[in-house]
Amino acid sequence: MRPARSVLSPGPVGGLPGAIARILAAAGLGVDAWVHARLADQYDAVAASISQGTLFRIEAAFACLAALLVLIWRRLPADAFAWLVAAGGLALLLVYRYVDVGKLGPVPNMYEPVWFNDKTITVVAQGVTIIMATYLMATSRRRGRPQLR
């Protein structure tokens, strides 16, 4: 079993371009986590079986975990998880901004048809993460398998 590589160690998606992509992806996820954690208590009143504040805390926790994984565990699954957290968060933000979905089972109606600074910051952070995680996934190589020529 190989030890985990740090963000700056050489190898696939290593060196300066990979390090910059990992740092930017983690920074985007960190901003996403910070905004959601900071706003969570303001959304606790929007509830069905689960509150929107709780969903914000879950998003913050996933974003923190993804940021740590993309920095510490330089593997395709970590990069894919970071991409999924950012893309899923962005998709939900845009849907609930433009579509009044209503209550869905235990999920409350989270329709909020306005833009404000925190929402804009989150969109930018998630977009940066999606771009950087896409780059990391596209440039990763599988270890232990012969390369096709």
Report the pLDDT averaged over residues 14-24.
92
Tokens representing 57 are 């805390």
Question: What is the pLDDT, as a whole number, of residue 10?
Answer: 47
* pLDDT tens string 38-93: 999 999 998 889 999 999 999 999 999 999 999 999 899 999 999 999 999 999 99
Question: What is the pLDDT, as a whole number, of residue 14?
Answer: 65
Question: What is the pLDDT, as a whole number, of residue 4?
Answer: 53
CA distances from 38 to 10, 126, 139 (A): 36, 16, 34
* pLDDT tens string 98-145: 999 999 999 999 999 999 999 999 999 999 999 999 999 999 875 444
42 secondary structure, DSSP code: G
Q: Using pLDDT thresholds of 50, 70 and 90, give the confidence band for residue 1.
A: low
CA dihedral 43, 79, 127, 110 (to 10 degrees): -20
Question: What is the pLDDT, as a whole number, of residue 143?
Answer: 46
Report the pLDDT averaged over residues 23-31.
98
Question: What is the pLDDT, as a whole number, of residue 47?
Answer: 87
Whole-number CA gyration radius for the chain = 17
CA dihedral 110, 111, 117, 122 (to 10 degrees): 60
Model pTM score: 0.84
Question: What is the pLDDT, as a whole number, of residue 15?
Answer: 81
Question: What is the pLDDT, as a whole number, of residue 48?
Answer: 85
